[in-house]
Structure 1
Amino acid sequence: MDSAGNSSCPLFISLPLLADILQVSKRTAELWAEKGKYAPVAGTDGAILFPTCTLVSIPEIREMMGEGWEEEMGTLPVREYTSVELFSGAGGLALGLEKAGFTHALLNEVDEMARRTLQLNRPHWPVKAGDVHGLDFRHLRGKVDLLAGGFPCQPFSYAGKQGGFGDTRGTLFFELARAVAEIRPRALLAENVRGLAAHDAGRTLATIRSEIDKLGYTLVEPRVLQALLYRVPQKRERLILIAIRNDLAPRAQFHWPTPYHRALTMRDALYAGELYPTDAPASPGVGYNARKAAVLAQVPMGGYWRDLPVAVQQEYLGTSYSRPGGKTGMARRLSLDEPSLTLVCAPAQKQTERCHPTETRPLTVREYARVQTFPDEWQFCGSLASQYKQVGNAVPVNLAWAVGRAIVRLLNGLE
């Protein structure tokens, strides 16, 4: 048991995990260790460990060492709460909200394969096909507690061109706003990539704030949540926006979810443990061609292209070799002892490779799904490419569950 009295909190946190939790580089954490900050010790394998009792001054660690997670896991709706979700994808957000206690009154998804995935796994969910622009929500007015949606993030992603509202997909936020105006739910949950917060020098988020205000809703100060703090074995960040209808806002109390006791890793995703009762089941997956396999075979667990011989680096990276930037996704092998890098829509693309920790191959679809904390029984429809895309675009289920519980507590308070 650690000094906080919480037997489920680890006695030590490894250097890489501490760096991930605090969002600093491993080199920064190494400098802390070299200077003796937080009283580091050497593990049996020589790895640097930080005792949790020396980290209590750090807010994130202090929260992890408390009892908040257990208390919040006991959250139950005091009555049936209904939700509507737009841009549902393969169901990561919808499944998390269901686990939190919401009953879906309507879900909308334009992609046929993602829609089939929803219908296969939850035949009772009222999934509406078609483009959101053609939907009329007025029949749901006054009947919905929560409107949720992760409006398409490509216009705001650091990995994209960042077109924002100049991109046609960016205007889908205004369809979410139209649904709010027609339904008048008690609360709104919107999520997007962290890049939205800084996009166009903050003007994009300012526009969203203004629209939410015009709708008659009070926006909770937005927050970027790290999925790895909420029982998700992945370094994934999502900007979460919560808004409450103005007539309810004066007596509403919203509290962000408390982090889990530790950061989960790829070991938790792939093998039996506290996250899954069995090892990851076999499933289809893409492979590497012979040349790529020969290169990735030389990369150690947790390593990337800089761990290759210089001649192999130059040959594999080609013209990218001399360009600036870390290129940290190239020839990247994941580590069993760290969370996965953020999953992308294809695990074998050269710029964003996600090689299995101990085998020279990309992660399979099932392994991808486990990193996103989908249950093993959740199946995906369509081609392999479509399945990877559905999983890669999803909101991690456990992150959605944690946020959903927070919203249930908000609604319970209003009751």
Structure 2
Amino acid sequence: MVTKDYYSLNEVSEILGKSKETLRRWDRDGKFKAVREPISQYRIYKKEQVNKLLKQLSIDYEDTIDNSVIPIREFSAVELFAGAGGLAVGMENAGIKCVALNEIDKWACQTLRENRPQWNVLEGDIKSFNFSEYQNQVDIVTGGFPCQAFSYAGKKLGLKDARGTLFFEFARAVQEINPLICIGENVKGLLSHDKGKTIKGMTSILDEIGYNVVPVEVLKAVNYKVPQKRERLFLVGVRKDINIKFKYPKPHNKIYNLIDALKKGELYDCDVPTSPGAKYPDHKKAVLDLVPQKGYWRNLPLDIQKEYMGKSFYLGGGKTGIARRIGWDEPSLTLTCSPAQKQTERCHPEETRPFTVREYARIQTFPDNWKFMGSVSQQYKQIGNAVPCNLGEEMGYAIINFLNTYYSQL
């Protein structure tokens, strides 16, 4: 039980002006350790510990991490499964030139061409393209390939066993281009997909085509100037003739919240522009009107909970995405391809509606002048599938750091 000698996590968050996510990360990293309340195991903090840190913070404690680095020459990339360009925009901001981008979705291709007419957009199924013209001409190959199970012909999966999967096409392109480094990105679930066999198979295939795989990491976008609790797995392969260690970008100290995405501040120099957006039907709006900021279905009266959730009410799990309203002072939950799915609700903090297209784009850290083509639903899909631009930029700096070291040793 919290006594007068201790503060709760909520209280410390208010006292220090830091988000609860930041405090949890500091606890995990050992920077500001909490103790555990004996029964509930909630984090609590000694008052003298909090007061000591408060004095340190008064010395203007700010984000001391800076991953930015200037490329010593022009570095180039081919991007596969490019989508609406989140990763490409981020890497461009870091200083990497995209020489070609492949994408099958026609609306995403229109988005890429609309915003970057100079980019070489290869529209269509990756299987129909040969990338040999870029052999030894490009430093980097990136790609957010979909996660698919393999058919295991033997104990060690080889490239031929992966035929028919999109990772095979990613690996084929890497083999044809022969870049210094390749970067694959995917959802966190890839780690456990098919009981871990899928990621092992991918590692085996990259090894076969001449790449050492760096230990896989799942990066939390919220640690890289993205106001969203999104996690992305990165699979990094370094060509075997290169004896340089790749280092992932260091996580930032500062966590940005929804207010930083939608209001004028450090991330954007104006409030979010108006734009079209989805709407709730009247019966759903009436329910969500009852949910406070940072609340969800448990904040509803019991009879409405049961009516609104139906069979889900009796199932296990927290179901914390149902009837969820995001708060101004927290990062958004991970955006999906549709802004009003019942299991993954993302309601505006003050107005009872889903986020608009431009609000979606801000939460993914796209620039305001990045136009999305197609219907509103197509635009939501493109944004929801994207790598946040700021996360892409931070990965871009890590790649540049690696390449700077390589070229400076030649």
How would you bin the TM-score normalised by the shorter chain?
Answer: 0.7 to 0.9
Unaligned runs of 5+ in 2: 1-14, 30-34, 152-161
Change (3 A) 1:209 1:335: same
Match status 1:369 vs 2:354: no
User: Any idea what the Cα deviations from partners look like across 1:53-96, whole Å, max 9, x if unmatched?
Assistant: 59xxxxxxxxx967331xx22x1111111100000000001101
Deviation at 1:242, TM superposition (A): 1.4
Unaligned runs of 5+ in 1: 1-9, 42-49, 55-63, 156-163
Change (3 A) 1:169 1:32: farther
Match 1:192 to one of 174, 186, 193: 186
CA distance in 2, matches of 1:389, 1:357: 22
Contact 2:22 2:254 in 1 (8 A): no
Match status 1:84 vs 2:84: no
CA distance in 1, matches of 2:47, 2:323: 33
Residue 46 of structure 2 aligns with an amino acid whose one-letter code is G
Q: In structure 2, what is the equivalent of residue 117 of structure 1?
A: 111
CA distance in 1, matches of 2:395, 2:48: 31
Stretches of 4+ moved more than 6 A in 1? 20-24, 27-30
CA distance in 2, matches of 1:118, 1:205: 30
Match status 1:294 vs 2:286: yes
Match status 1:256 vs 2:248: yes
Q: In structure 2, what is the equivalent of residue 378 of structure 1?
A: 370
Identity of aligned residues (%): 49
Contact 1:148 1:190 in 2 (8 A): yes
Comparing 97-106 and 287-296, the one that deviates more: 97-106
Match 1:68 to one of 58, 65, 68: 65
Q: Secondary structure at the match of 1:414?
A: helix
CA distance in 1, matches of 2:219, 2:55: 22
Change (3 A) 1:392 1:28: farther
Q: In structure 2, what is the equivalent of residue 36 of structure 1?
A: 46
Match status 1:202 vs 2:196: yes
Deviation at 1:259, TM superposition (A): 1.8
Q: In structure 2, what is the equivalent of residue 339 of structure 1?
A: 331
Match status 1:330 vs 2:322: yes
Match status 1:273 vs 2:265: yes
Q: In structure 1, what is the equivalent of residue 406 of structure 2?
A: 414
Match status 1:176 vs 2:181: no
Q: For residues 108-257 of structure 1, what are the structure 2 equivalents within 5 Å?
A: 108-153=102-147, 155=148, 164-165=149-150, 171-248=165-242, 250=243, 252-257=244-249
CA distance in 2, matches of 1:289, 1:85: 39
Deviation at 1:326, TM superposition (A): 1.0
Residue 389 of structure 1 aligns with an amino acid whose one-letter code is K
User: Any idea what the Cα deviations from partners look like across 1:274-315, whole Å, max 9, x if unmatched?
Assistant: 000000010000000101000001000000000000011011
Contact 1:33 1:39 in 2 (8 A): no
Change (3 A) 1:265 1:300: same
User: Any idea what the Cα deviations from partners look like across 1:234-290, whole Å, max 9, x if unmatched?
Assistant: 000000111111111x2x132211222311000101100000000001000000010
Match status 1:15 vs 2:28: no
CA distance in 1, matches of 2:400, 2:62: 23
Q: TM-score, normalised by structure 2?
A: 0.85
Q: TM-score, normalised by structure 1?
A: 0.84
CA distance in 1, matches of 2:47, 2:170: 47
CA RMSD between the two structures: 2.7
Q: Secondary structure at the match of 1:82?
A: strand
User: Any idea what the Cα deviations from partners look like across 1:339-391, whole Å, max 9, x if unmatched?
Assistant: 00000001111111110011100000000000000000001000111000000
Q: Secondary structure at the match of 2:219?
A: strand
Larger radius of gyration: 2
Q: In structure 2, what is the equivalent of residue 285 of structure 1?
A: 277
Contact 2:36 2:44 in 1 (8 A): no
Change (3 A) 1:174 1:302: same
Q: In structure 2, what is the equivalent of residue 6 of structure 1?
A: none
Q: Secondary structure at the match of 1:165?
A: coil
Contact 1:344 1:393 in 2 (8 A): yes
Match 1:387 to one of 341, 366, 379: 379
Residue 185 of structure 1 aligns with an amino acid whose one-letter code is P
Change (3 A) 1:368 1:128: same
Contact 2:190 2:198 in 1 (8 A): yes
Contact 1:13 1:51 in 2 (8 A): no
Residue 221 of structure 2 aligns with an amino acid whose one-letter code is A
Q: In structure 2, what is the equivalent of residue 308 of structure 1?
A: 300
CA distance in 2, matches of 1:122, 1:245: 30
Q: Secondary structure at the match of 1:210?
A: helix
Change (3 A) 1:397 1:309: same
